[in-house]
Amino acid sequence: MPTLKEVEIYLNGLWLLFRQDAKGFSFLDFSDRGAMRSFWAVFFALPTTMLSFLWWRSMYLKGMPDGVDVGALFFFRLGLVEIANWIVPLVLAGLLCWMLGIGSRFLAIVVVSNWLALPVSYAYALLILAMILVPSLSGLVAILSYGLALTLIIALFRILRMLIGDHSLTIATVVMVLLVPTMILSELLERYLDVYPG
């Protein structure tokens, strides 16, 4: 398990790559071991996951009759959705890298995707917290969430440019594969597993 200091180093590496500074490569581990260790980002994001689950539960219960509650099965199903959202895009990215002949870049893409998800998850958690504490800010939070999504796209594009080179179409395709399936898969699984609000 990486230490907090190591996580800080990894995030600094991402920041340097975002700024198009090649020094960022020395802060990140793109080996097999580094790719596996990057999945510890899931553990470090657990507080944000728990907050989002509790918020999702409250949204779900608003659409249910009074007196209805949900138990551990509800959170287990949300966990399945979360795991699918994390793994499926990486699998698709691996297939894409293989088809495009950039398989050597796949581990680096896994490392970047996993560690970049960490600050993004905390940013979204702050938005959820704002919506819980001040419901009247829901409109502003919605705008900020779109802004955060745009920031994520830009960050991925800039970092992947450092990994793949100046191949805009390839980079755009990889970004799309990493982000779009999550949006589609989330709602499909939430409806199928009956954890979708409303």
- Angle in degrees, CA 23, 27, 33, rounded to 5: 135
Q: Where are the alpha helices (DSSP H) in the chain?
A: 4-18, 32-37, 41-44, 46-62, 72-100, 106-133, 138-164, 168-192
Tens digits of per-residue pLDDT, 87-118? 999 999 999 999 999 999 999 999 999 999 99
For the entire predicted model, the pTM comes to 0.91
- 25 found inside a domain: yes
- 150 found inside a domain: yes
Structurally, the chain folds into a number of domains equal to: 1
Residue 173 sits in which domain range? 4-192
- 64 found inside a domain: yes
- 94 found inside a domain: yes
- 175 found inside a domain: yes
Residues with pLDDT less than 70, the chain: 198
- 197 found inside a domain: no
Q: What is the DSSP letter of 93?
A: H
Q: What is the pLDDT of residue 134?
A: 87
Dihedral (CA of 20, 124, 87, 4) sign: positive
Closest listed residue to residue 96, CA positions, set 178, 197, 184: 178
- 170 found inside a domain: yes
Question: d(Cα 160, Cα 169) in Å, to the nearest integer?
Answer: 11
Q: What is the pLDDT of residue 198?
A: 67
- 163 found inside a domain: yes
